[in-house]
Amino acid sequence: MSVLKLKPSGKDYLWGGHRLIEEYKKESAGNVLAETWELSCHPDGPSVITNGSYKGKTLPQYIEAEGREVLGTHCSRFGDFPILIKFIDARDNLSIQVHPDDQFALEHEGQYGKTEMWYVMDAGKDAFLYYGFQRKISKEEFTRRIKEDTLPEVLHAVRVQKGDVLFIESGTIHAIGKDILIAEIQQNSNVTYRVYDYGRVGKDGKKRDLHIEKALAVTKRVPIMRDRSSYPHVADCDYFTVDRLNLDGNVMKKMEGNVSEASFASILILDGKGRISCQADSLSFQKGDSFFLSAGSGNYTIEGTSDALITTIRETSPGICK
């Protein structure tokens, strides 16, 4: 099989909503589904293959059986599968948090750090995200505001709408606000340092832990600029390259691509329906579907109506992520 359809792992975090269940037909044991890990080799929630000879196997099991060649030559620099792709439904505000870089995370957590990007799939009228600071602040002020629960007063609140993209490098303080639906592409990591959580309690009735000391060590306490362009890509860095596909079914009805030996391709369907074909494989798709095309699969076509994100891994560069 050159086209693997994936079933995600679901997360019922307390801030989640119902849209992934109702609109995207995702399975859930309850009525809250905060995240679905659509492309995942992470042990906290691997994707499961739903077609072909590997049906019922996890994506990590497929890679182990077929060999790392299915990831492509550009992935040879990574010890683990490089990325994690999610849908996120924020019915309520997420905690204010920060992610470490690779060096800090490997030393303190035994896994990679996290640089990520957000693609806003939908947002309420007054929806916003926290993205960095309004101004440069000292470590002492940062500490004080965490303890006094006044941290949001110095954060940059960014109003968002459908189609907006934010790139969040490791060390950037951030939070998804309520009433936002997001597709997230990130490094393959589940390391988060929480610094503010609106006083909420978890399922055990206790306030969730904060990770103040580690957050102080990794946070860049400066404003973040949004004007860096990744054209012609949606996002482009050493960890992932993301492109957007839009087929309106009229002027644009078909897209042809190629998956070389350099990198696998992830295709995440945000909206629409149609068919994806590669070699002898031809699968129908609908809104919310996720596909993995192994490196070296060759030419493929996508037909129908589709709004999708295509993620690959490029060669490393001496420049910074953008």
Q: Where are the domains of the chain?
A: 3-46+83-218
Which pLDDT does position 229 carry in this prediction?
63
**3-class secondary structure, 195:** strand
Active-site annotation holds for 194: yes
Length of the chain: 322
Nearest to 247 by CA among 310, 190, 205, 189: 310
User: Mean pLDDT over residues 244-252, rounded?
Assistant: 91
C-alpha–C-alpha distance, residues 71 and 46, integer Å: 16
pLDDT in tens, 279-318: 999 999 999 999 999 999 999 999 999 999 999 999 987 5
**pLDDT at residue number 167:** 94
Q: What is the pLDDT of residue 320?
A: 41
**pLDDT(77) > 70:** yes
CB 24 within 8 A of CB 89: no
Can you give the pLDDT at residue 232? 87
Quick: pLDDT tens for 150-164. Answer: 999 999 999 999 999
Cα–Cα distance for residue pair 265/297, rounded to 1 Å: 9
d(CA 67, CA 74): 14
Amino acid type, 120: V
Res 228 pLDDT > 60: no
| CATH no., domain 3-46+83-218 | 2.60.120.10
* The pLDDT of residue 224: 87
Residue 319 pLDDT > 50, yes or no? no
At residue 24, the pLDDT reads: 96
The one catalytic residue in 68, 194, 200, 228 is 194
Over 50: is that where the pLDDT of 277 sits?
Answer: yes
Cα–Cα distances (Å) from 86 to 12, 157, 272, in that order, read: 13, 23, 18
In this prediction, residues 66-77 reach a mean pLDDT of: 96
One DSSP character per residue, 248-290 reads: -SSS--EEEEEE-TT--EEEEEEEEEEEEEETTEEEEEETT-E
Which whole number is the average pLDDT over 228-251? 89
φ, ψ for residue 4, nearest 5 deg: -105, 125
